[in-house]
Amino acid sequence: MRTVESESPGEGHMGFKFFWRIGILTVLTIAAVVFAGHWAGLTEAQTKPPESGILPFIGTWTAVHAGTPIIVLHLRSQNGELVGDVQVCSYSVNTETTGTVDVVTDPTLSKSLPINNIKVSGRSMSFDWKDPDGDNDHWRLELTGKNAGQIVWVDLPRDVKVQPIPVNKTIAKS
């Protein structure tokens, strides 16, 4: 005859403790994953403005000097993000005294040059681009009205003075 022994109370309790620990560990892991996903979503929401935040910028922004377009900034929405390019002609800025555009040296607009690192913050958006001479430029478009703004040159050396350049927006008709 064979005798079957039952578990002692301690052995059964140990099995319960083991499963309890696995259950707690599983719940904590799931909570951590959910929280991390929520945190990442909040971080993304803070760095990427809602599409309504980019709407005031969408259009073609043009700066004109003495009747000649000197800057044409094209901005559009692509997959809910602001993208664009810029065209410029050759002009000279008096960086020593007035900081304003002096003269257009060649009225021909450049080919469209891509803009990068676009960041929208309230009523301004900043971006980087490489000009036809190969210089890396940092500009900011500040809205001053519904269809008006100004281009501000950012990160210039302290001794270089450039005043904001007024721009006006036109919206493509669909």
pLDDT band at 171 (very low <50, low <70, confident <90, very high): confident
Q: Report residue 59 as tokens.
A: 């259009």
The arithmetic mean of pLDDT across residues 111-126, rounded, is: 97
Say which amino acid occupies 100. T
Give the pLDDT confidence score for residue 39 in this predicted structure.
45
- CA 14, 16, 17, 21 torsion: positive or negative? positive
φ/ψ (deg, to 5) at 9: -55, -35
What is residue 34's DSSP assignment? H
Could you tell me the pTM of the whole model? 0.70
pLDDT band at 26 (very low <50, low <70, confident <90, very high): low
Tell the burial category of 166 from Cβ atoms under 10 Å away from its Cβ (0-12, 13-18, 19+). Answer: middle
